[in-house]
Amino acid sequence: MGWLVEHILSSRPHPEHGYRACMGLRRLVGRYGPERVVAAYEGALVIKAVSFPSVDSILKNGLDRVAVEAKPQQAPFAHENVRGADYYRTVA
């Protein structure tokens, strides 16, 4: 749980800006328990939405209990008008 507070404080330009978020985090731990809050925060890290409202929403909707899967990489769009990287490497 300590790494969570450290991450919040270090991600702000001034650590003082993270105090309210840490206090809100403390309230969430009291309401949902530390395991769920850590799971919600890790989920927020994956989707790059690390903020108190995001973590709170994840907990309210029970999304911390759902496994977060990495988004599969899609193959590049194949079309006859797409030239690709090799086209631009040729020296004229």
Q: Where are the domains of the chain?
A: 2-69
Please determine, for residue 14, whether its predicted confidence score (pLDDT) is greater than 60. Answer: yes
- Band of pLDDT at residue 75, cut at 50, 70 and 90: low
- Band of pLDDT at residue 90, cut at 50, 70 and 90: low
Residue 59: per-residue pLDDT: 92
The radius of gyration computed from the CA coordinates of the chain, to the nearest angstrom, equals: 20
Question: Taking residues 48-65, what's their average pLDDT?
Answer: 87
Please determine, for residue 72, whether its predicted confidence score (pLDDT) is greater than 90. Answer: no
